[in-house]
Amino acid sequence: MKKNILLTVLAVIFVGLSAVAEESSINAWGRKKYFNVGYGIQTLENKDNGMKWKSDIAVSLVKGTTYYLHSKPILGMIKFGIDWTQVDLNYAKLKEDFVREDIENAPSDFEEFVGKKDWGQHQLEYSMHVGPSITVNPVNYLKINAYFRYAPSFSAVLYNDANEDMQFSGAFANYFVTGGAVSWKIISLGAEYRWGSAKYKTFSFDDESVTDDIDPTDVIKTAKQKMNTSSVRFYVSLRF
């Protein structure tokens, strides 16, 4: 009789633990949306003239959803999915990746010396991502995921070197993003590598050439330049 009671107690405990595990699994897989706040290290390189810039600061906001391809986890802990990032906003303030002799040797009244103010270089991008992902839920609420995404983007670059004209460049860019994250319930920590290239159409405006008898549109110059962008981004993510 004692043996029967013990078996009954063990059976109840087993059923209870199974229910808890199933509930934990459901809760762990229920967080499909992600919202990332990131800080990055970004590089922009002009392939036509060899100039290169690195970021003083680079930040990003990302919002997306993971759509799992099957309802039950493989081996009880693995799911494959498709990530769709609806919004990826990325901003970088860039600086030249070398010391310019003209700036190094400039007098203290630098702005007056060059005749223009140096506003630096800024890159702003909007993109969407789509691509496969794999997520592993080894225990409880712990999840580890990895992904690879294609990220079509619009990239804009504003450039005003003290010795150059004001320039604006824009392009449709083919970017790719790969990375991974570790999650516990709602919080994730992740890192990703983002890279791609585009043929930018550049508009420059030489304001010193404008006079009363010259139409301002006559001093707008256009050109095309191939630029490569690469960045490593570290982020904190909320999954809900």
**In order of start, what are the domains of the chain with their CATH numbers?**
31-239 (2.40.160.20)
- Provide the pLDDT for residue 223: 82
From 49-53, 88-92, 134-138, 204-208, the region with the lowest mean pLDDT? 204-208
Give pLDDT, residue 204. 75
Q: Over the stretch 198-229, which tens digit does the pLDDT of each residue have? A: 999 988 766 555 555 555 555 567 788 899 99
CB contact at 8 A, 161 and 204? no
According to the model, what pLDDT value does residue 162 have? Answer: 52
The pLDDT assigned to 233 comes to: 98
How large is the average pLDDT for residues 24-51? 86
Least confident interval from 23-27, 91-95, 174-178: 23-27
More confident residue, 67 or 206: 67
| More confidently predicted of 102 and 214 | 214
Instruction: Please tell me which residue, 96 or 45, carries the higher pLDDT value.
Output: 45
Cα–Cα distance for residue pair 164/114, rounded to 1 Å: 10
Query: How far is residue 37's CA from residue 89's CA, in Å, rounded to a whole number?
Result: 10
pLDDT higher than 50, residue 103 = no
pLDDT of residue 207: 56
User: In this prediction, what percent of the chain has a pLDDT beyond 70?
Assistant: 70
- The larger pLDDT score, comparing residue 240 to residue 117, is at 240
Amino acid 173: pLDDT: 95
